[in-house]
Structure 1
């Protein structure tokens, strides 16, 4: 078939659209498979700026492409009218038009317009495309290695950001414990920690500065411990106790909350969960009591949601979601760690995610998120708006009407049936 890519005169052409058209005319095309490129593009969606309705459109278009069209010198062209695609997505034609433009400008597809504007594909007896007009996904094949590298870099940056966020939450607490154990250094360490948090905007730089300060704290604590050991080495009249070990090496729950609030910065959603782990003081005011009651409610809801859901069941039921985010759900921490990527995959806003975490708990929200992503990956027609579907599930969880175990069990049973059918072939 021809390697020329025509763009209709009625289109408003941008440099990104022209760049995609040039890539579609390339002759040196890496060999790949429909499955590989589909998973890769879904992982790269947050990087490419594809979310919400655009992600839904991309999922449908990839599903309509022929598996053999991604091999050799063939070109994967999808011919579907905007009206039919709008019917599949349950959106307006104008919305579909904007979605297709975003896909093309993202550099993974190109317009291949016919003179009449109609989209169609002609194939020979062997199934090869002889002529076709529609959306050409050849640019995605041309950029295969580039997109792979971008996804790997993005996942590394995401992990580094998560580690830095945890460090900025964890290290000030450890430093506060050290201040209580060594009052002579309390003012210096507290002011240094506060200066790092107030003077540095980047979370990574904050984490680096706090790690350096914490290393100094550990070094001082070790010196004091050694001095104590040397001073009591020849004293037989004193019974040694384990209380000489500094509290900094243990997880103390007896922290002064007023001091923590002075040093520890807010942590976009995770601070509420951290506070739930700490026992509030008896003398807390009405505001703290209300917060504690809200946290208790979220904890109760989370327990009810996850009551009959095991990590093994989730691992079997959400196989496609795990492949999409490149994370195996061996434990609840794995599910929580993949939440940020899954949130972006379904086009859920950060504000909606933080609200869900505050209402049902981080683990329960992450499991609900994995379930929604799995359902949308299996059948994009069933869930037109994954973000809205997620929020509806959270509302049902708060009302006590969500039976998540049934949904996950159904997904797991469907996965097992699919495996059995494949084994019989």
Structure 2
């Protein structure tokens, strides 16, 4: 096929050096270069960010490629397709013609295709006596062949950047979880530190991550969160080491006191005295649970006493009191029907949060049931937030504890 030597666009469309550069690159391609058009299209799709090609422009490019009958593109001749706008609209899934023209111009501007306009701006082909196309006017797909290696390189770079971004998001999610829980624990346990300042510093950084964050935005955020996490962890570790050193001198006294069968259970902090005086029964030996369920049952985000202090109403629904995490999980399952929470919502919460954290969330919902219209919908909303890493139990428990303390103060006054 021979094409016209048309280089400039028809009508008032401007001509630029960038368009000239695209034509020069297409003309200088090696004649032996042959590419698979759909593989190159997939590379353009993956590297569309660097090429500034939108998803709608990709749909138009896909439609243009379908008008060329061959899968393999190459050779010395220009590769021109000349569909009408009407036919392009049909293959572009009914895209509006005005939108179609805009995205065709975007593809030309990006150098993915070249416009070969006829003297009157129409797209057509002129055939010779033997039926062979002698001249064609339309869109030249030669850049698909000439820039195939460049498109493959951009796709590989985009894939590598996407993997780095995914790892950064994982680091940020872990840091946010660790910071939130360590702040809540340090504040509750009375560890000497300015926890309000740490909480404000965390909020300033945690609220800076947009949904479509770039690599340049995520890298400094991950570094700042990791620095903050190390600062908080160092404070907690120093506090634990100090307590261990000061506690070694009185180890014998504690052993004598703990030998009393009626001694209070110290592992459950801040339990009501009536419950604390009852020793926790030793669990029966059973076959070890396997897989994901076993790891979730062993997960304990916060001290049980802290949870019961924040959500005391859950204790009223327990059969024999709440002395362990297993009791809390069992009581939460009993409370679900009372709050009109469907089994599917409860199962989803257990799957995402784990049994212990799901039970804590349910206890918090019960504690605030008077202010919640739909407990089931609220639980599903929190589950979805937790699935995306945007929900944390620490602020919820601390808010409930502060509310309970204020209520007690008003009653005493």
TM-score range, shorter chain: 0.5 to 0.7
1:21 equivalent among 20, 23, 37:
23
Q: How does 1:261-300 map to 2 (within 5 A)?
A: 277=353, 279-280=361-362, 281=364, 282-284=366-368, 289-290=373-374, 293-294=377-378, 296=380
Q: How does 1:141-180 map to 2 (within 5 A)?
A: 141-180=145-184
2:140 equivalent among 126, 136, 139:
136
How many residues align structurally?
282
1:205 equivalent among 216, 220, 223:
220
State whether structure 2 residue 119 is matched by structure 1 residue 115: yes
Alignment TM-score, normalising by the size of structure 1: 0.52
Counterparts of 1:38 and 1:24, CA distance in 2:
17
Range that drifts further, 192-201 or 7-16: 192-201
Alpha-carbon distance change, 238 to 102 in structure 1, aligned in 2, over 3 angstroms: same
Q: Is the 8 A contact 1:113 1:133 kept in 2?
A: yes
Alignment TM-score, normalising by the size of structure 2: 0.53
2:11 is paired with a residue of what secondary structure? coil
Counterparts of 1:33 and 1:92, CA distance in 2:
29
Alpha-carbon distance change, 210 to 251 in structure 1, aligned in 2, over 3 angstroms: farther
Counterparts of 1:98 and 1:19, CA distance in 2:
21
Deviation at residue 195 of structure 1 after TM alignment: 4.9
Counterparts of 2:3 and 2:161, CA distance in 1:
41
Could you say which residue in structure 2 is the equivalent of 1:32? 35
Q: Is the 8 A contact 2:3 2:78 kept in 1?
A: no
Q: How does 1:40-119 map to 2 (within 5 A)?
A: 40-51=43-54, 53-67=56-70, 70-89=73-92, 90-116=94-120, 117-119=122-124
Deviation at residue 82 of structure 1 after TM alignment: 1.7
Range that drifts further, 106-115 or 8-17: 8-17
Alpha-carbon distance change, 17 to 143 in structure 1, aligned in 2, over 3 angstroms: same
**Residue-by-residue CA offset, 1:70-111 (whole Å, 9 max, x unaligned):** 234454322212222223332444333222212111210001
Could you say which residue in structure 2 is the equivalent of 1:214? 229
Alpha-carbon distance change, 119 to 132 in structure 1, aligned in 2, over 3 angstroms: same
Counterparts of 1:204 and 1:291, CA distance in 2:
38
State whether structure 2 residue 301 is matched by structure 1 residue 252: yes
Counterparts of 1:58 and 1:120, CA distance in 2:
20
1:184 equivalent among 192, 200, 217:
192
Deviation at residue 232 of structure 1 after TM alignment: 5.4
* Structure with greater helix percent: 1
Q: Is the 8 A contact 1:77 1:121 kept in 2?
A: no
Q: Is the 8 A contact 1:24 1:139 kept in 2?
A: yes
Deviation at residue 129 of structure 1 after TM alignment: 7.3
**Residue-by-residue CA offset, 1:116-156 (whole Å, 9 max, x unaligned):** 5332376999x997643321122233333333333333334
2:136 is paired with a residue of what secondary structure? strand
Counterparts of 1:43 and 1:93, CA distance in 2:
26
1:80 is paired with a residue of what secondary structure? coil
Could you say which residue in structure 1 is the equivalent of 2:11? 10
**Residue-by-residue CA offset, 1:213-243 (whole Å, 9 max, x unaligned):** 1123334444444455555567355469996
Q: Is the 8 A contact 1:5 1:24 kept in 2?
A: no
Q: Which runs of 5+ in 1 are unaligned?
A: 257-272, 300-356, 363-425
Q: Which runs of 5+ in 2 are unaligned?
A: 211-216, 259-264, 269-297, 308-348, 389-413
**Residue-by-residue CA offset, 1:345-369 (whole Å, 9 max, x unaligned):** xxxxxxxxxxxx89xx98xxxxxxx
Range that drifts further, 30-39 or 186-195: 186-195
Please provide the CA RMSD for this pair: 4.6
Q: Is the 8 A contact 1:33 1:71 kept in 2?
A: no
Counterparts of 1:169 and 1:184, CA distance in 2:
26
Counterparts of 2:89 and 2:209, CA distance in 1:
47
Higher relative contact order (CA 8 A, sep 6+): 1
Deviation at residue 36 of structure 1 after TM alignment: 1.6
